[in-house]
Amino acid sequence: GEIAEVQGIIPVSGSYEPGYQWSVNGVFVNEQDTFFNETYITSELRWPLMQDSTITLTTFSNGKISRESVFIEVYGIRSMKVEGRVEMGSSADLVCIIEGNVPPSEVFWYFNTEKHDPTFSHQSATTTKSVFSINNIEPSHFGHYTCVAGYPDRPSMFQRMPVVPLGSCALPQVFNGGFSSNFMSEGTTATVTCNPSYTAPEDHGTLSCKDGVLEGRTPVCVQVLRNTEDTSTALLVVLVACACVVMTCSVVLSFVIWYKKHNKVLKKLSDNAYPGKHYPAKSGAAERPKFGTDPSETPECDPENNICLTPHH
């Protein structure tokens, strides 16, 4: 699956421009980039390789044909197969063949999402064989098996294979959900169950099995998003109500404080305002009667609160 980049340099003699053509495993393909100058032509081919391939550049010049080829060996998993019978109570081996001049540094297996070491491995110069054995097969063994080849200096390669009874269908893995079983029998249906806060869109939750092939859209579980508009409105109402309560309480509290203070001052003045009682003048100052010569008519005042009370008989 990686892209092979091959460059060819074609000499130019005189004013005649040679012709050229690329091919991959005998099939003609188009180039991607070409550069010209007076002495040569540079042609580049970028091609994805899925197998070992021979890339050839054929040139036509002055009635002569010449070819230059390069062989590219592709590394990775060549094949994956089952040896034995997949039946209840029997045993079978899953065989993974990995080829390439660079052998993998490690090979391991997955059963659905569980990682396992291989039962047996053999590695030669260019081929690695990894075997995962299934003994005394029972329903819990059915599902997807994946062979993974890891490399220290390049991306890992993997290949997946379903292992189910003959005529049955392996059920896929679903993020944020799953099925009650790893497989389904011929002519039956299965519906995905999503985790809390997730749901399967319409027509994306049920599969059927026909002739060993799954039918239906790929199941998915998507997160359910809440409508925050109503929540925001309710929160705003609560905040406004709280603000009103706080303002009302502040007004009432201020009035209560003022009322108590006012009553206290009135009581103080009332206790001191009775006939025949007045306050003497300060030392060294002449007493100046108020409201005539009757001291009982002298008002009692509270300068701090700007309140005066005149006694009456």
Cα separation, 229 vs 215, in Å, equals: 39
DSSP state of 13: B
Cα separation, 300 vs 270, in Å, equals: 9
* 0.85 exceeded by pTM: no
pLDDT band per the 50, 70, 90 thresholds, residue 308? low
Cα separation, 190 vs 202, in Å, equals: 14
Apex CA 141: angle with CA 136 and CA 146, to 5°?
120
Cα separation, 63 vs 218, in Å, equals: 57
91-133 pLDDT, tens per residue?
Answer: 999 999 998 877 899 999 999 889 999 999 998 888 999 999 9
Torsion of CA 279, 282, 286, 291, to 10 degrees: -30
Kindly state the average pLDDT of the residues 27-37.
82
Q: Which residues pair with 10 in a beta bridge?
A: 41
Is it the case that residue 287 has pLDDT exceeding 50?
A: no
pLDDT band per the 50, 70, 90 thresholds, residue 224? confident
| pLDDT recorded at residue 271 | 61
Kindly state the average pLDDT of the residues 285-300.
50
CB-count exposure of residue 297 (10 Å: 0-12, 13-18, 19+): middle
162-217 pLDDT, tens per residue?
Answer: 898 888 888 888 888 888 888 888 889 999 999 988 988 887 788 998 888 888 88
pLDDT-above-70 percentage for the chain: 76
242: enclosing H helix or E strand: helix 228-272
9: enclosing H helix or E strand: strand 3-11
pLDDT band per the 50, 70, 90 thresholds, residue 313? very low
Cα separation, 109 vs 111, in Å, equals: 7
Q: Which residues pair with 53 in a beta bridge?
A: 72
Torsion of CA 113, 114, 120, 124, to 10 degrees: 50
| pLDDT recorded at residue 128 | 93
- 265 Ramachandran zone, left/alpha/beta (phi>0; psi -120 to 50): alpha
CB 214 within 8 A of CB 169: yes
- Grouping H, G, I as helix, E, B as strand and the rest as coil, residue 256 is helix
Q: How far is CA 81 from CA 94, 121, 160, 185, in A?
A: 6, 15, 10, 22
Cα separation, 288 vs 301, in Å, equals: 15
Is it the case that residue 10 has pLDDT exceeding 90?
A: no
Mention every residue, 6+ apart, whose C-beta is less than 8 A from residue 145.
94, 109, 110, 111, 132, 160, 161, 162, 163
pLDDT band per the 50, 70, 90 thresholds, residue 298? low
| pLDDT recorded at residue 291 | 44
Q: Which of 55-64, 201-210, 252-261, 295-304 has the lowest mean pLDDT?
A: 295-304
Is it the case that residue 13 has pLDDT exceeding 80?
A: no
Is it the case that residue 306 has pLDDT exceeding 60?
A: no
Cα separation, 174 vs 143, in Å, equals: 13
β 307-309/53-61 pair status = unpaired
Kindly state the average pLDDT of the residues 231-250.
65
Q: Which residues pair with 11 in a beta bridge?
A: 40
pLDDT-above-90 percentage for the chain: 18
Average pLDDT, the chain: 79
Mention every residue, 6+ apart, whose C-beta is less than 8 A from residue 39.
11, 12
pLDDT band per the 50, 70, 90 thresholds, residue 227? low
CB 156 within 8 A of CB 166: no
48, HSE (Cβ side, Cα atoms, 13 Å)? 3
